[in-house]
Structure 1
Amino acid sequence: MPQLEVEGAALTYDDEGPRDGDGVPLVFIHGWTADRHRWDHQVAHFAERRRVVRLDLRGHGESGGAGVRTIEELARDVLALLDHLKIERCVLIGHSMGGMISQTITLAHPERVERMVLVNSISRMTYSRGRGLLMATSTLVPFKLFVATNIQRAFAPGYPREEIKRYVRSSAGTPREVVMTLYGAMRAFDVLDRVGEISTPTLLVHGFHDIQLPVKQMLRMAKAYPDAEVRIIDAGHELPVEKPAELTAAIDRFVTVRAA
């Protein structure tokens, strides 16, 4: 697996598919406490005919590094990888926190993003008083319980328990410092007042049963986008693995129609 050293962190990434394939490269960015393998289904599908890049974000999966404090810092890591791979223009596909990273990149460098796909992601965290209190107090429980509670809530009712346990174990392997600081970074993330600047064609795909980032928050964001399509799927927050085929098909239709 190739790695790129960026500001003291060895970032692990995959660069697959034909260099002369259909359209610009697709760049997949995973979410909080996850890793690049969340995108296995999508990458296997698209790498048959176009270049596909994905990475483990700093402090996640097989990438090293810690000390990251902001979404902007993670965005700089992604841009450093694109520069290293000489990718001047791409389609950004981000899940949850990865969607926040995608929006950050697109706002700063719109010339580098041909299209954008946001999966179960939002532009501003908004909590009711009750949910805000729940989220604030959840940080006071033991770390493993904090992670397990958040990951279990991410899946729609009925998803296999053994699979959820596997994702809990994987997420718990993310360093505590990375988990907690990026949890705070996501809570502070707010570009809702700026998304009207994003003229990049954007697909917003969301799980109907997402209680981490509820659909109504995504719909509020969608109204602010000048050029957005919305697709809602019968799933929870972990769309890439809960309904992989449906998500892949939605992305495929969007990038194929838009590229035509």
Structure 2
Amino acid sequence: MTVALNHVDTGGQGVPLIVVHGLLGSADNWRSHVKQWQERWRVVAVDLRNHGRSPHVEGMSYTEMAEDLLALMDQLAIERAHLLGHSMGGKVVVSLALLAPRRVASLIVADIAPQAYGHDHDAVFAGLRRLQEGQPANRREADALLAEHVEERATRLFLATNLQRGETGGLELRIGLDQIEAGYDEIMRAPAGEGAFTGPTLVLRGGRSHYVTDDKLPALREVLSNARVQTLEEAGHWLHAEQPEAFQAAVNDFLSLQEGGRSLSE
């Protein structure tokens, strides 16, 4: 069963740009980018299931998440769209492109390869569980609780975007943590679908990230056969937050190419 995804739709004409966040992210993380993109394109930023303001349900497979996204496209009468996904969201948009290629005008995949990855979120989940137990009254208390398990301040700040004021006045998580942890093995797997997506594709990777290293490129191109790979040298995994202007420029140039009807090889 598909989930009715919470989303922000800027409205506008032309082929829309649909933006899909990564694990433990939300549409809110893309606010500043959406503000810029909406000057030229219709932008739809989504909260995936168990994230942001979308419903909490069992199942985190890429087939399920891609079908949620397709259902949203149907709801909004979007026949084809440019799809941008970061990290887990990148695997979601690749899955949609493999399962329903006619619905995809182009792909922008941010710092993820279409493959399985190892488990490396144990400390993050432990920190989030500590938040749940600690019931912080304010963000300073929340940061102290997270710091018991998560050393990097930037990661703690990112995780804190999932906090909201509860009915009792304290801060609480708005994500479906139980469902995400139960589905974590599925999240770490390769995207759903078979074969290759042959449409225009931009893969943006962080020069300081380990997610899309050179050794992963041959296998990446087996799935994304028309991929152009662009590196933001000074960025890590959260390249859209660490190098926002360079990220914006790369996306704008790519989408402008698609508007002009030119292929990536020209």
Q: TM bucket by the smaller chain?
A: 0.7 to 0.9
Match of 1:13 in 2: 7
Normalization by structure 1: what TM-score? 0.79
Give 1 or 2: higher helix fraction: 1
The one of 50, 53, 56 equivalent to 1:62 is 53
Deviation readout 1:108-150 (Å, 9 max, x if unpaired): 11111011000011111255xxxx6xx49x379735379969x
The residue that corresponds to 2:244 in the other structure is 244
What whole-Å deviation, never above 9, does each CA across 1:73-130 have from its counterpart, x for those lacking one? 1111111110000000110100111111111111111111011000011111255xxx
Taking the aligned partners of 1:27 and 1:190, their CA distance within structure 2 comes to: 18
CA distance in 2, matches of 1:152, 1:201: 38
Q: Structure 1 72/226 Cα, relative in aligned 2: closer, same or farther at 3 Å?
A: same
Query: 207, 213, 216: which one pairs with 1:215?
Result: 213
Instruction: Please identify the structure whose Cα radius of gyration is greater.
Output: 2
**Rounded Cα–Cα distance in structure 2 between residues aligned with 1:100 and 1:75:** 9
The DSSP-based 3-state class of the residue aligned with 2:205 is strand
Determine the structure 1 residue equivalent to 2:170.
none
Task: Name the CA distance, whole Å, in 1 between partners of 2:215 and 2:26.
Answer: 25
1:94 and 2:85 matched: yes
Task: Tell me the number of residue pairs that the alignment of Structure 1 and Structure 2 aligns.
Answer: 233
Offset at 1:205? 0.1
Q: Mark the runs of 5 or more structure 1 residues left unpaired by the alignment.
A: 1-5, 156-160
Query: Residue 255 of structure 1 aligns with which residue?
Result: 255
Q: With structure 2 as the length reference, what TM-score do the two structures score?
A: 0.77
Alignment of 1:124-163 (within 5 A): 124-127=115-118, 135=120, 138=122, 142=126, 144=128, 161=153, 163=154
Structure 2: how far apart are the matches of 1:221 and 1:12?
A: 33
How far the C-alpha of 1:215 sits from its partner, in A, is 2.3
Mapped partners of 2:150, 2:157: distance in 1: 11
Report the equivalent of 1:175: 176
Identity within the alignment, %: 27
Moved more, 236-245 or 88-97: 236-245
Q: Give the match's secondary structure for 2:24.
A: coil
SS where residue 107 of structure 1 aligns?
helix
1 CA distance for matches of 2:7 and 2:205? 26
Query: 2 CA distance for matches of 1:49 and 1:93?
Result: 16
Matched residues in 2 for 1:123 and 1:203: separation? Answer: 13
**CA RMSD for the aligned pairs?**
2.9
Instruction: Say if 2:19 is the partner of 1:28.
Output: yes
